[in-house]
């Protein structure tokens, strides 16, 4: 890629850079679970939304 650009722009300095981004998150929602027949599972119903984003460039 750099060689092709140098052929097109021979009098310029070429710097190739790359960038990426990612998002990581969780949403806690109560789901089904297994338990014995005589026990009713207690699940708190507090919804949590957390997200983190990461950016990087080389």
Express each pLDDT in 26-43 by its tens digit.
766 667 778 888 888 777
Range of the domain at 42: 20-58
- Structure confidence at residue 47 as a pLDDT band (50, 70, 90): low
- pLDDT over 80 at 49, yes or no: no
Domain annotation covers residue 38: yes
Domain annotation covers residue 45: yes
Domain annotation covers residue 15: no
Average pLDDT over residues 11-20: 85
Domain annotation covers residue 46: yes
Domain annotation covers residue 25: yes
- pLDDT over 80 at 53, yes or no: yes
Assessment of whether the complete model's pTM goes beyond 0.75 = no
Average pLDDT over residues 8-37: 81
Looking at the 3D structure of the chain, how many domains does it have?
1
22/26 Cα distance (integer angstroms): 14
Using CA of residue 7, residue 9, residue 13, residue 14, what is the dihedral sign?
A: negative
């Amino acid at each position: 890629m750099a060689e092709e650009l140098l052929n097109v722009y021979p009098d310029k300095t070429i710097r190739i850079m790359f960038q990426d981004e990612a998002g990581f998150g969780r949403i806690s929602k109560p789901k089904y679970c297994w338990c014995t027949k005589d026990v009713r599972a207690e699940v708190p119903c507090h919804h949590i939304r957390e997200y983190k984003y990461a950016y990087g460039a080389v």
